[in-house]
Amino acid sequence: MKNLRMKSARAGLDMSQQQLADAVGVSRQTINAIEKGDYNPTIRLCIAICRTLGKTLDELFWEEG
């Protein structure tokens, strides 16, 4: 499942995939794969992304259902 909320939060901060990747210590390809739904990040990476984007886990990673 695509993570459009993460992509939107990143874009809202005018942050590129590379900038987010650098901030959390992964490759740009990893960020791209998460946004495309091709990679399920670890909880540690999820938390790092949330902190960098100023969002909660629920806001970025919880699937409404």
pTM: 0.92
* Average pLDDT over all residues of the chain: 95
> DSSP assignment, residue 38?
S
Rounded (10°) angle between helices 28-36 and 17-24: 110
Q: Which is more confident, 63 or 7? A: 7
Cβ distance 23 to 47 under 8 Å?
A: no
What pLDDT shows up at residue 18?
Answer: 98
Tens digits of per-residue pLDDT, 18-28?
Answer: 999 999 999 99
Instruction: Fill in the amino acid letter for 59.
Output: E
User: Three-class SS of residue 35?
Assistant: helix
* Residue ranges making up the domain that contains 33: 4-61
Residue 20 sits in a domain whose CATH number is 1.10.260.40
Task: Provide the domain count of the chain.
Answer: 1
**Environment class of 1 (CB within 10 Å of its CB; exposed 0-12, middle 13-18, buried 19+):** exposed
